[in-house]
Amino acid sequence: MAVQAVYFSDKDGLDMALKHPDTLLFSNKADADARDKVLELSEEIREFLTRKVEGLDEETADRCALAIAENKDLFQKALKKPQLLNADEAADA
């Protein structure tokens, strides 16, 4: 029997990682570190959103912040070309 090391972000926690092994367990440290950076960015975005958007509940702010953080490259490109944000949806229609 072989032994295999798996990595996860402490911010996700082991329980969450085990519930979603396809997306939250990683075979190398670099991928787990990348996930950790996404979660750090998400926390900062959530703080920003709750401060700037009156009436935004915490759960919605969390989901929005994570979506933005997970797609940060797209958002960076969209600052120059906004229509990129919905280009995938237009292609699907």
- The three-state secondary structure class of 11 is coil
Report how far apart, in Å, the C-alpha atoms of 35 and of each of 44, 57, 78, 86 are.
15, 24, 22, 24
pTM of the model: 0.77
Residue corresponding to tokens 């759960």: 59
Token representation of residue 45 = 């975005």
Q: Would you write out the chain's pLDDT as a tens digit for each of its 93 residues? A: 888 888 989 888 889 888 988 888 899 999 999 999 999 999 999 999 999 999 999 999 999 999 999 999 999 999 999 999 888 765 544
In the chain, domain spans:
34-92
Which residues partner with 47 through β-bridges? none
The correct CATH number of 34-92 out of 3.40.50.10330, 3.40.710.10, 1.10.10.710, 3.40.109.10 is: 1.10.10.710
CB 43 within 8 A of CB 18: no
